[in-house]
Amino acid sequence: MTDMTETTETSDATETTQLDIAEVSHRAGVPASTLRYYEEKGLISSTGRRGLRRQYDPGVLERLALIALGRTAGFSLDEIADMFAPDGRPRIDRGMLAAKADELDHRIRELGVLRDSLRHAAACPAPSHLECPTFRRLLDAAASGGVAAPGRRIPGR
C-alpha cells in the first residue's frame, strides 16, 4: 500500500502536508466521486495533483464536515456554498439557520404524528385499516398533502 500523504517542502523551507483524494475520501467518509463533484460545484478545492491524484490541504476535512452538517440539516449544496466567503471562510447567516431550525421543528411534529398514527394502525382492532377512523384521517391528510414524504416540501409551508 502506498502512503497517501505526502510531505513537500515549500520555497520558504516549511513543511506542508498534503492529502491525496483517497486519504480525504477515507477520512471524510465520502466517495472520491463526491469530492470531485464538490470541487466542480466550488465547495472545495484541490491544491494540485501528484500524478493523476488530486491533492488537498488538510483543512478540507473541516470544510467537508461543515458540508456534511449542512446536508444533514437539510440545506442544499447551493445554500451551503453561499455559507462560505470567496476566501473559503464560513459566513453563516444566523437568520437562515433559525429558519431551518423552525423547518426541522415542523418536520419533527409531522413525523411524530405519522409515528403515532402508524403505531395506532399496527395495534388497531379494526378488521381493516381502511375501517379505522384514525387511519382514515391519516390517509385523508396524505391525500391532501398534509403528510409530506421525506425530502418533499409541503406547498405553502
pLDDT tens sequence across 78-134: 999 999 888 888 888 999 999 999 999 999 998 998 898 888 888 989 888 888 888
pLDDT of amino acid 133: 85
Instruction: Give the CA distances from residue 42 to residues 37, 63, 95, 124, in Å, rounded to whole numbers and listed in that order.
Output: 9, 12, 24, 52
The H-assigned helical ranges of the chain are 21-28, 32-40, 60-73, 77-81, 94-123, 133-143
Question: What is the C-alpha separation between 61 and 20, in angstroms, rounded?
Answer: 12
Task: Answer yes or no: is pLDDT of 156 > 90.
Answer: no
CATH numbers and ranges of domains, the chain: 19-83 (1.10.1660.10), 94-144 (no CATH)
pLDDT the model gives residue 149: 52
- Return mean pLDDT, the chain: 83
- pLDDT at res. 92: 84
Take residue 115 and report the three cell numbers written for it: 409515528
Per-residue pLDDT, 10? 43
Q: What confidence category does residue 32 fall into, taking pLDDT thresholds of 50, 70 and 90?
A: very high
Distance from C-alpha of 63 to C-alpha of 80, rounded to nearest angstrom: 11
pLDDT at 16: 64
Number of C-beta neighbours around residue 69 at 10 A: 11
pLDDT of residue 140: 86
**How far from the centroid of its chain's Cα atoms is residue 50's Cα?**
29
As beta bridge partners, residue 8 has 16
* Contact yes or no for 19/4 (Cβ under 8 A): yes
